[in-house]
Chain A
Amino acid sequence: MKRPAELSPRLEDALARWEGGTSRRDFLKTSGIFVLGFSGVSGIGVAGLGRHGSGGPGEANLYPDPDFLQLDSWLVVHEDGTATFYVGKTDGGQGTGTAMRQMMCDELDLAYDRATLVMGRTDMTVDQGGSGGSDAIERDALPARRVAAEARRVLLELASERFEVPADELRVSEGVISVASDPTRTATYGELIGGRRFDVALTGRNVNETTGLASVKPVQELKIVGQSVPRYDIPAKVDGSLEWAIDVKLPGMVHARNVRPPFAGARLVSLDESSVRDIPGFIRVFREGNYVAVVCEREEQAIQAAESLAVEWERPEAAPFPPSEDLFDYMRGATPVGAGTGSSPRPREEGDPDAALTGAATVVEAAYDIPFQGHTAIGPAHAVADPSDGQMTVYTNDMKPYSHRTGIAEFLGMPPEQVRVIWMEGPQLYGRTAADDAGFEAAYLARELGRPVRMQWMRHEETAWDTKGPAFAIDLRGGLDEAGNAVALDYRARIANYAHVGYNQADTVLIAQLMGIRPERPAPGGGRGPDEMYHIPNRRDETQAVRFPLAFETPLRTGNLRDPNGPQTTFAGESFIDEMAAAANADPVEFRLRLLSGTTEDDTTFRRARSIAVVEAAAEAYGWDARPSPRAPGDGRILTGRGISYAYRIQTTVATIAEVEVDRESGRVLVKRMVCAHDCGLVINPDGLENTIQGNLLHGISRTLFEEVQFDGEKVTSVDWRTHPTLTHMDAPERIDVAIVNGDPNPDRPDLPHYGAGEPSHRTVPAAVANAIHDATGVRMRRIPLRPERVLEELAAAGL
């Protein structure tokens, strides 16, 4: 049987229970017939008469997909009555795993500490897509809850047979079933099914619909859900014992580093291997098209070889993109992608915005600019690939291990069954990071070399070449009537998002681009305006993509970055609503509530009512003093103000208030305090939610005040933490208040849904900060990031 040389202890822990007989994989592979054997020493053993027999090296179909329509794929009850859950999600540090374990324990009626949870292993956990879109709690927890409820139902059925008592005359408490009329008659889950398969088929057209016969519990009966259970992953992260993806070491493993083109669009003319051949431990230089990598026995040797390799590159004839200081002029002046071909997306329109603007008593206009921003993960991308026996195992922190697997299989021309991806902990995963790219590179090099390869990106590579959140240039016009009511809103955005890179695509991943592979149809790069529930009768929402001369092999490749487009569009939208409120001489909170209350219509998730609830809750938690902005600036060096911003994302509604200090001499902006009112429905883990929101807010401050990818006409010049700065301890707010809101009109309903929280609050931050600066100074900051020199410039222009 093929087993990886070393696995994370956490996974091994989950697997260890099967070591007496067979592996989890074979457990899943076996058909309904099984032999149960007891041996006093090794405990239980399950041997199967499987469809595939025992997996030997080179065997086809070595890593089949766990079948989501089998209960055994999701959940195992062990002989001692503990359980292991298997979910196809990953955890980027928001406590997703802990929350899912809470929910599944609750449905199963098992104490939280009697279960473990395995995530994101393509050969062991059903394909739920991994992470993305803040959807784990909102969407993927539902099948997880249902299968756990189904397991409980089946266990009750087994007990019913054993006791010859109808199931509805049984009681369940923490993994023990008892007869209601005779509580001395009990059976533990372990006694009923421990170590054996449920062999229960589930139904559902896709993994999200997976269900058994049982219903999930009403909210009122959930006991573990709603508790601030400490995260299970934290102790091992604090004492240094956790094995991360970066720690994986395999026998015979070698170290790789990439050599990137020094200019965007550069063509490799020649390379001189003799420049590195004498480096101790040197193994090989790989070159395919413009992709270059070096492999050495030791890590520091590979770094030295990558730095020393003599490569001749040729500049492209045309400039690949404008320098960053000309970016927004370029974007506004460029011809949009698809213009004149009929394929340009049509604007969304309601009413007659042009006529309403013409007839408005007051017209407000403003333009907002948001640059490219990077993921710039704290740990540069990395992966280990093991090609043993003609298979491929990739150890990665990629948040989407399933598409990582299929993408790598496609790229290498291997059947997916021979590829598996093992997700392990790593630096934050807020979207389409370079973890995708590093895994493909490791797998390619491992296959070529026939040895396990560890790929590690360097800092300059991570910052310059990781995918970017797209730049926006947004123009807004708004109309107010005589009474100061908003009657028109015209939103027109340009987004630099052409050839947007998707997740784990074999034809857009960086190594493929550099090898000369091109997608048949590059992503056109659309977008849409901010997500809010304002009732404004006449509106236009138009987003057009623009492209640069160079669309591929460019470090300005865009990909999903936390809450893709949300911070950018909400910055413009919520800054502009504030500008309209100021023009109407209205209090910013009151103005927003008026816009949200302009209709009584709502959607099925009550997003309008829940929007009103968060705006009101934020104002109350902050102690908002109603008055128009700006306040009269004081005479002192430090000016203070507060600003609000509101948005929804999918079903979650958020309102955030920032309180800032602006230093009029240095231009430094300090966010002193933040209040966030957040309605994501049913809360699974309040403390975990609060930590997630705090991270969202601070990441938002970082993007608002500091982050910008800079480039000259031929390369990205942001290559480290000085040239792509980030928030530091000195910039953290002194106080953050999170108000958990439940604005559902029927908040006690038993089926109260749980929505996502991984991203929604993030988008509210830039406008809240900019609105607070306006409140403090009367100056409107419309260009992100709000760095001191820009603040000083605007203050000077305003005579402050």
Chain B
Amino acid sequence: MSEVTLRVNGETHALDVDPATPLLYVLRNDLGLRGPRFGCGLGQCGTCTVLMDGRAIRSCMRPVSRAEGEITTLEGLSTDGELDPVQQAWIDEQVPQCGYCQNGQILTAKALLDRNPTPSDEEIRQGMNGALCRCMTYYRVQSAVRRASDAMTNGAGGANGTGEAGGEVDR
């Protein structure tokens, strides 16, 4: 055990854990976060995805000692109870089925759209490809990414807008 400092969702945490511990278990078990979930422990499915300085990373593979920078989990996407446009698009499109993987879908989409605010259909498919879903909600996930893209680029509120700008987009 040794002291590790983590920046998560805007707060700094000093933790006494084995530095080799995968970030996932520290986020879930020490910080009590529910967004990142265990899926494979192999970096294959994306269920454990978190953002590190805006990049989507697999927290199941990342030793906590190498989790430098600002970590954002699903819980940290919304600010003051206001949903990120990506989250709003997920509700508007009624994307989830069981929802277990949707943390990875949403954060992968968030990182994709921050990198490329107007992805083509092909870029969405490629950008989202590493996020697996066994309920197979891919069809709606892709619609929601398009909707979020519209909301973020056309909406008055910008990256943290109300999400309502995309409310009328056809599926």
B1 contacts the other chain (Cβ, under 8 Å)? yes
Cβ contact of A691, chosen from B83, B94, B125, cutoff 8 A? B94
Bound-complex Cα distance A587 to B84 (A): 50
> Given known contacts A92-B97, A240-B34, A426-B100, is B39 in contact with A459 (CB within 8 Å)?
yes
A-side contacts of B126, CB under 8 Å: 729-730
Asked if A38 is at the interface of the complex by the 8 Å CB criterion, the answer is no
User: Quick one: which of A93, A379, A701, A732 contacts B97, CB cutoff 8 A?
Assistant: A93
B38 near A456 (CB under 8 angstroms)? yes
Q: Which residues does chain A contribute within 8 Å of B96, judged by CB atoms?
A: 93, 231, 233-234, 237-238
Residue A554 is within 8 A (CB to CB) of chain B in the complex = no
Q: What is the CA–CA distance of A702 and B134 in the complex, to the nearest angstrom?
A: 9
Does B98 have its Cβ within 8 Å of any Cβ on chain A? yes
Residues of chain B within 8 A (CB-CB) of A380 are 38-39
Q: Does A84 touch B at the CB level, under 8 Å?
A: no
User: Interface residue tally of chain A, by bracket?
Assistant: 35 or more
Given contacts A379-B47, A695-B136, contact A300 B37 (CB under 8 A): no
B49 within 8 A of A: no
Give the complex CA separation of A429 and B135 in angstroms: 9
Say which size band chain B's interface belongs to.
Answer: 35 or more
B156 within 8 A of A: no
Instruction: Judge whether B99 and A237 touch: CB under 8 Å.
Output: yes
Q: Is A538's beta carbon under 8 Å from chain B?
A: no
Residues on B with beta carbons closer than 8 Å to the beta carbon of A459: 39-42, 44
Asked if A426 and B78 make an inter-chain contact with CB atoms under 8 angstroms apart, the answer reads no
Whether B98 and A92, one on each chain, are in contact in the complex, defined by CB atoms closer than 8 angstroms, is yes
- Given known contacts A238-B91, A728-B129, A730-B126, A379 and B136 CB-to-CB distance under 8 angstroms: no
Q: Known: A730-B125, A734-B121. Contact between A426 and B34, CB under 8 A? A: no
Q: Is A450 in contact with chain B by the CB < 8 A criterion?
A: no
CA distance A699 to B130 in the complex (A): 17
Question: Does A449 lie at the interface of the complex (its beta carbon under 8 Å from any beta carbon of B)?
Answer: no
Give the chain A neighbours of B47 by CB distance below 8 A.
Answer: 378-379
Bits for B60-81, please: 1 = Cβ < 8 Å to A, else 0: 0000000000000111011000
**How many A-B pairs fall under 8 Å by CB?**
180
Whole-angstrom distance between the alpha carbons of A89 and B10 in the complex? 40
Say if the beta carbon of B103 comes within 8 Å of chain A: yes
Query: What's the Cα separation between A427 and B38 when bound, in Å?
Result: 11
Known: A240-B35, A299-B25, A376-B134. A428 touches B75 (CB 8 A): no
CB contacts under 8 Å to B, within A190-242, are 230-231, 233-235, 237-242
How far apart are the CA atoms of A736 and B130 in the complex, in Å? Answer: 22
Q: Do the beta carbons of B1 and A240 come within 8 Å of each other?
A: no
Whether A378 touches B34, Cβ cut-off 8 Å, given contacts A238-B106, A691-B140, is: no
Q: Which residues of B contact A732 (CB under 8 A)?
A: 125, 136, 138-139, 142
Query: From A299, which residue of chain B is reached at the shortest CB distance?
Result: B25
> Considering the complex, which residues of chain A in the window 408-434 have a beta carbon less than 8 Å from any beta carbon of chain B?
425-429
CB of A727 within 8 Å of the partner chain: yes
Top 8 nearest A-B pairs (CB, nearest first) are: A93-B97, A698-B136, A93-B98, A237-B99, A240-B74, A732-B138, A240-B35, A240-B75
Binding site for B on A (CB under 8 A): 92-94, 230-231, 233-235, 237-244, 246-247, 249, 280, 298-300, 303, 376-380, 425-429, 456, 458-459, 687-688, 691-692, 694-695, 697-699, 701-702, 720-722, 726-734, 736
9 pairs from A and B in contact (CB 8 Å cutoff) = A92-B97, A237-B96, A299-B28, A425-B99, A721-B45, A726-B132, A729-B126, A730-B126, A731-B138
